[in-house]
Structure 1
Amino acid sequence: MAKSKTPPPALAALSGRLAQGSTSLAALNSRFNHSFEVALDRVEPDPAQNRQHFDEGELAALSDSLKQVGQLSPILVRPHPARPDHYILVAGERRWRAARLAGWTSMVALRFDGDADTAALVENLQRVDLTPLEEAKGLERLMRQRGLKQQEVASLVGKSTVQVSSLLKILTLPAPVLSDLGSDAGATVPRGTLFEIARAPAEQQPKLWALARDGKLNVRTARQAKDEGDLPSPAPAATGTAPRLPAIGKWTRSLQAVKGTSLSKQEREELLALKAAIEAVLAGK
């Protein structure tokens, strides 16, 4: 009978780690936190989370995606201050809700020990599906909460100072324009055109916005209209049934902008969820 060989020390150590249920091959003294499996009933949403409404259709699509391809990125959690062995969500509430909808009892998480508010804001600002107004509001809140300057917040969220400045300029638009921008009517106005409107003299902004909303303004014509002061009249309000999917143009532009680039795990997960939702609509489900 052949004698069993003693494994090399490195392999023996690795085997011991695996036998102890280690979920990561990172060194124990690594600067990276280890992922771990957490029971969903031990995780609670952050009561300070601004987002209170979650679209049921989007959650169902994300749930289907989780069932088909699994969880591609961990949720971020922090220890619950009053309940031992329980956690509060820092980022990933949509994935957590979708996992429960899929009938899962646990999922992969990362413990986050830093500034939870900042982490949640930064994660949201790095999403690909935010509108310019949502980005601007998130940046403004981050600057206000942390006392940051534009250059500092730009570095924190991975944007240029010019991008941050242009986004924040949106918040100076008149209240009626901001209200319109936050509705479906403003979903199809390109970012560049919106930035030009925000840089225009205040007396021109309402009329420029009306033109952009009617599809009669782009970056070039906006600059020309501002310089020459010759603003054509916007088209009268359309009658009849409003388009049921006004955001399709925004989705298409967002997808074209990231085509050929490297996607994060979360972006890939959300695109798969969007794909599942589109296929369900086309199939008449």
Structure 2
Amino acid sequence: MAKPDKTRNFGMFRGAMETQAKDALFGTSVDFPKLVEIDLGRIARNPDQPRKHFDPDEMEALAESIQRYGLKQPILVQETGGGSFALVAGERRYRAHEMLGKDTIFAIITSGDSDELALVENVQRVDLDAVELAMALARLMERHGYTQEELGSIIGKSQSYVSHTLRLNALPDAIKREYATSHRDVSRSVLVEIAWVKDEAEQLALWQRVKAGEGTVKAARTRKARTPASETSALATFFNAVRLIRRQATDVEAHRSRLDEEQRAELRELRRQIDELLGE
């Protein structure tokens, strides 16, 4: 069996490389990323950028790092004409430069779909939380008509991953807000489990249990199935007694004159328990 002609194959590869357009000064490909230093005032922010939450403490830490060590990764921009640029990715780095009072920032000029570029850059840096990623994917689907498979190819994830992530858009707004502001330690898998629950009231109840430290939706549901039966039964009995008292105590003025001190003490204790139940 004849061996492959490796020398011939290498020659073909080298020939293809030699025919590719090169930069006259450095010998690099003409489409090699272009690094420039740009005035901050010439860069317009991206209103559709995927990242929505900017933690003040994290921003302070980033600004301090840039001040001490410099910018280690340039932002991405696109030319919009007239010497102006649109910010594609790197808004945290851009804002940190503003906080530091810097006039310029290093940037890489890029081309292509700005939504896709911003999403990919954030995904690669793991800069987005689960809900931000879900919103960005939904926006790309709506704007460009992408399928879940195509979205998976763009961000380097499976169709199943995309499907579960998109489901997070069905979470109640209250959960999204709390997750973004104070509970980003809750894992994506837990959020996905809650998102697939169809009843919003149950979603909110599960979220409360997860915040309380149940850890997983399965644990929260197990606890829900284990404890409420006796608690609900006792509460139902209590309210049945309250309703009976309300029906029988129709003439309060008449009863008041016949109360002895022991009965008054019992009513005061009942009132204290009711106030405690109401949190008052």
TM range (shorter): 0.5 to 0.7
- Measured in 2, the distance between the counterparts of 1:176 and 1:77 equals 34
- Measured in 1, the distance between the counterparts of 2:50 and 2:75 equals 18
Tell me the equivalent position of 2:234.
Answer: none
CA contact (8 A) 2:51 2:127 kept: no
The CA deviation at 1:147 is 0.9
- Measured in 2, the distance between the counterparts of 1:208 and 1:88 equals 41
Tell me the equivalent position of 1:199.
Answer: 196
1:74-85 maps to which residues of 2 (within 5 A)? 74-81=74-81, 84-85=82-83
- Measured in 2, the distance between the counterparts of 1:181 and 1:55 equals 12
| 1:125/1:225 CA distance change after superposition, 3 Å | same
| 1:206/1:134 CA distance change after superposition, 3 Å | same
RMSD of aligned alpha carbons: 3.2
The CA deviation at 1:212 is 1.3
| 1:174/1:34 CA distance change after superposition, 3 Å | closer
1:33-44 maps to which residues of 2 (within 5 A)? 33-44=33-44
| 1:26/1:164 CA distance change after superposition, 3 Å | farther
- Measured in 2, the distance between the counterparts of 1:57 and 1:178 equals 20
AA partner of residue 161 (structure 1)? Q
Task: Report which stretch shifted further, 151-160 or 122-131.
Answer: 122-131
CA contact (8 A) 2:45 2:87 kept: yes
- Measured in 2, the distance between the counterparts of 1:180 and 1:95 equals 25
- Measured in 2, the distance between the counterparts of 1:201 and 1:48 equals 29
Tell me the equivalent position of 2:142.
Answer: 144
- Measured in 2, the distance between the counterparts of 1:196 and 1:51 equals 23
CA contact (8 A) 2:50 2:118 kept: no
**Residue 88 of structure 1: SS of its match in structure 2?**
strand
AA partner of residue 79 (structure 1)? E
Tell me the equivalent position of 1:89.
Answer: 87
Task: Report which stretch shifted further, 35-44 or 106-115.
Answer: 35-44
The CA deviation at 1:43 is 2.7
Between Structure 1 and Structure 2, which shows a larger proportion of helix residues? Answer: 2
Tell me the equivalent position of 1:272.
Answer: none
The CA deviation at 1:154 is 1.3
**Residue 109 of structure 1: SS of its match in structure 2?**
strand
Given the alignment, which residue of 207, 210, 213 partners 1:209?
207
AA partner of residue 126 (structure 2)? V
1:230 is aligned to 2:225:
yes
- Measured in 2, the distance between the counterparts of 1:106 and 1:177 equals 38
Tell me the equivalent position of 2:97.
Answer: 99
Q: How many residues align?
A: 204
Task: Report which stretch shifted further, 33-42 or 108-117.
Answer: 33-42
- Measured in 1, the distance between the counterparts of 2:109 and 2:129 equals 29
Tell me the equivalent position of 1:72.
Answer: 72
The CA deviation at 1:96 is 2.4
**Residue 157 of structure 2: SS of its match in structure 1?**
coil
Q: Deviation string for 1:223-265 (max 9, x for gaps)?
A: x749xx82645xxxxxxxxxxxxxxxxxxxxxxxxxxxxxxxx
Q: Deviation string for 1:111-135 (max 9, x for gaps)?
A: 1221223322333344424332222
- Measured in 2, the distance between the counterparts of 1:174 and 1:46 equals 26
CA contact (8 A) 1:26 1:34 kept: no
Tell me the equivalent position of 1:164.
Answer: 162
- Measured in 2, the distance between the counterparts of 1:53 and 1:217 equals 24
CA contact (8 A) 2:210 2:217 kept: no
Q: Deviation string for 1:78-124 (max 9, x for gaps)?
A: 2234xx22322222222223224434443322112212233223333
Structure 2, gaps ≥5 residues long: 1-23, 229-280
**Residue 195 of structure 1: SS of its match in structure 2?**
helix
CA contact (8 A) 1:79 1:85 kept: yes
- Measured in 2, the distance between the counterparts of 1:165 and 1:68 equals 41
With normalisation by structure 2, the TM-score equals 0.60
- Measured in 2, the distance between the counterparts of 1:60 and 1:146 equals 36
Q: Deviation string for 1:170-213 (max 9, x for gaps)?
A: 222345544544442x4332222222222345374333222212
Tell me the equivalent position of 2:255.
Answer: none
AA partner of residue 225 (structure 2)? D
| 1:51/1:175 CA distance change after superposition, 3 Å | closer
| 1:197/1:146 CA distance change after superposition, 3 Å | same
Structure 1 or 2, whichever has the larger Rg, is 2
